[in-house]
Amino acid sequence: MTTELRGLPREIVAGSGWHAFTYRAANTSGRVIASLSASMELWSWDRKNLENETTKYITVQWYNSGSRRWEPMPADYGYFAETRNLKPRAFAEASLRLKVDAKTPAGFGGAFQTGFFSDRSRTCGYSAGAYYYFDVLAAGSKPTTGEDSKGTTTRPGKAVTTVVDKPAPKGGLSDLPATGELATTGASSSTPLLLGVAGAAVVVGGAAVAVARRGRGSR
């Protein structure tokens, strides 16, 4: 089971409006995944004052296609949607977006994603998860790169492998239906392999995700 964020910018200018990206969960195993609960959280700090967490200036939303509205990400823990009975080589996606308030000082930030899964034999666990780092540029700045942030399994300032330590979801999540299938020539979910379903609607719902990170700011 793999999970990832796709399209999160490496640089975000404060006050530049919404930036869209995607959470994808892919079943790279040979068995049906009975349940996968998607999890994502994001944070940021002032570059000149590392004690000043600026997460409160960032708005993160997910698209609920059931209500056809963008809604806030959960404030506690962050499990926000569930996909059920995900077949081998199938994947599910959720549309996300964020914006950084114009008064946010220049700094840096990151997001952490993972997924809690179980199969029909009741074996359960977490996907490896990854951090995605980005720079927050002061309002009026020009980005120096148009690249997306790449996932890494190491925490900020520590050359260690991420250890997911969080409670399992308690249920009650809305559906995140499968939206595509992995190419038969590669197991990586990062391959550009939507098979005619690029515009498929995604139903996501509210609930909660924890993330291994320092501190916590208000939404």
Domain CATH code at residue 148:
2.60.40.10
Q: Given this model, what pLDDT does residue 216 score? A: 38
Instruction: Give me the residue label for tokens 């399209």.
Output: 7
User: What global pTM score does this model have?
Assistant: 0.74
Q: Given this model, what pLDDT does residue 193 score? A: 22
Closest CA to 95 of 109, 81, 76, 85: 81
Q: Given this model, what pLDDT does residue 17 score? A: 98
Could you give the number of structural domains in the chain? 1
Is 192 part of a structural domain of the chain? no
Q: How far is CA 105 from the centre of its chain?
A: 23
Q: Given this model, what pLDDT does residue 208 score? A: 25
Is 208 part of a structural domain of the chain? no
Per-block average pLDDT, block size 10, for the chain (219 residues)? 94 98 92 90 94 95 81 78 89 94 97 90 86 97 93 56 48 59 40 23 27 35
Is 201 part of a structural domain of the chain? no
Is 199 part of a structural domain of the chain? no
Find residue 104's DSSP bridge partners.
none
Domain that holds residue 7: 2-181
Q: Given this model, what pLDDT does residue 203 score? A: 27
Is 36 part of a structural domain of the chain? yes
- Tell me the three-class secondary structure of 83-123, residue by residue: EEEECCCEEEEEEEEEEECCCCCCEEEEEEEEEEEEECCCC
Is 206 part of a structural domain of the chain? no
CB 93 within 8 A of CB 86: no
Is 219 part of a structural domain of the chain? no
